[in-house]
Amino acid sequence: MPTTCPYHIDPTGADIHAEAAALREQGPAARVVLPDGIPAWSVTDPGLIKRLTSSNRVSKDAHQHWPLFKEGKVPTDWSLGLWVAVRNALTAFGPEHTRLRRPLASAFSPRRVRAMVPQIETITATLLDELATAGPDTVVDLRDRFAFRLPLLVVNVVLGVPDDMHAQFRDAVGGLFNTSLSPQEAAASECLVRRHVDTLIERKRDEPAEDVTSTLIAAREAGELTDRELQDSFILLIGAGHETTVNLLDHACTNLLAHPAQLELAITGEVPWENVVEETLRHQAPIATILPRFAVEDIVDQETGIQFSKGDLILINYAAAGRAPRRIQRPDEFDIRRTDTQHLAFGHGAHLCLGAELARIESRIALSALFARFPAMRLAESPDQLKPIPSFISNGHQRLPVHLGDQARQPE
Ligand code: HEM
């Protein structure tokens, strides 16, 4: 049982893994304090995470199960307010969750995702052609020029975002994940995203197509969703599309470039790209911590003896879970040769990530094509100089400067 003082979560996410290690020291779950003094638990142990995320005594709905929120004791301008107040699958419980997840799920069926492979390959090839114009010795920001653009373009296809709106969403969505913003900045960033979503919904009402936004609008028109749920479901998907796979690609590239012998194993096919992707997800969970969850009633975890009181706010620390020393040997080391690459980076239980298959396929295509084209790429800064993005939720770098090196000879 943790006996130490609550740990103040660093809203700037300056060193997510040092923080995770400090929290782990306090036991499978540690008492923490979020910005504005909001108390919570951060759960770091994979076993406890699985038990909590699959329990029907743990909810994600603040409107029903967070007394502080219901009683108006959470500041209305709390910088993390959007994460608890939104009305979509990520923050729903029980039958409400089933209702809100259903219209999203069809877009991510294995069949629909497999059908996207040719489009993902084409987008990847176009981005690599654009990248190649930089020349072998120029420093390019691989995160901005490749890791970010690919998932963005793909999610825009899934959601049916027209080309002329890509830039608006690209510029606005990052603010939702920046946990170091002031309340005023966070409110302005949410407001901006909502304005763009409204414009998009208006346009798609007039021009429906085979995409998730049109499916959501149809669900709204059939009375299955409220206006707010329609808007917030879109925000969930565009947010997931902008801030997750980018981190996976960013960390995979950083680690491969920092470990050239492992990169060689991947390029030669001795280790499949699938292992690279899974090991990256374990070692650097792209969503480091997720909120919110709430204890629906007093819960005593039988295995650890930890007691959660009714209404406690619970954060799941996926970054810590991927490096649990009792589960995995040399947890801090990146090693694509591992045979056990189990991780919880896509979550567990009813809220398991809907985009997991898409993210996996997309990253395998992206990494294999990138390093086939630029096998001599190298980092332009040492990995420990790379600055993290200011978030304890989203785990990536602000920039990933590389030299592309000479291109591989293209087939005639
Ligand atoms: C590397 C890429 C990704 C990672 C690491 C990731 C991670 C996660 C995690 C950890 C959760 C569970 C949150 C919880 O515990 O409550 C989740 C849920 C979700 N993800 Fe992803 N995600 C990724 C990509 C995507 C993509 C590309 C999409 C779609 C565009 C997506 C859509 C969703 C949705 C809709 C949910 C909510 C499911 C629910 O609450 O029922 N994700 N994701």
| Sequence ranges of the domains in the chain | 7-403
pLDDT at 177: 81
Separation CA 104–CA 109 (nearest Å): 10
Which atom of ligand 1 sits closest to the CA of residue 155? 30
CATH no., domain 7-403: 1.10.630.10
pLDDT at 259: 98
User: Does the Cβ of 360 fall within 6 Å of ligand 1?
Assistant: no
- Report CA(352)–ligand 1 centroid distance (Å): 7
pLDDT at 4: 61
User: Does the Cβ of 172 fall within 6 Å of ligand 1?
Assistant: no
Q: Which long-range contacts (CB under 8 A, 24 or more apart) does 306-311 make?
A: 306/1, 306/27, 306/28, 306/29, 306/48, 308/29, 308/41, 310/67, 311/65, 311/66, 311/67, 311/68
For the chain, residues with pLDDT lower than 50 are 1-3
Separation CA 274–CA 55 (nearest Å): 30
Distances (CA, A) of 100 to 25, 233, 274: 37, 8, 31
pLDDT at 178: 85
- Report CA(133)–ligand 1 centroid distance (Å): 34
User: Does the Cβ of 103 fall within 6 Å of ligand 1?
Assistant: no
User: Does the Cβ of 353 fall within 6 Å of ligand 1?
Assistant: yes
Nearest to 383 by CA among 334, 322, 335, 344: 334
pLDDT at 1: 46
Cis peptide before 401 (omega within 30 of 0): no
Distances (CA, A) of 102 to 84, 115, 161, 411: 20, 20, 21, 44
- Report CA(239)–ligand 1 centroid distance (Å): 9
User: Does the Cβ of 152 fall within 6 Å of ligand 1?
Assistant: no
At 79-136, the pLDDT tens digits run: 898 899 999 999 999 999 999 999 999 888 888 899 999 999 999 999 999 999 998 9
* C-alpha torsion sign, points 31, 33, 39, 40: negative
User: Does the Cβ of 290 fall within 6 Å of ligand 1?
Assistant: yes
| Closest residue to atom 11 of ligand 1, CA basis | 353
pLDDT at 172: 86
User: Does the Cβ of 89 fall within 6 Å of ligand 1?
Assistant: yes
- Report CA(195)–ligand 1 centroid distance (Å): 23
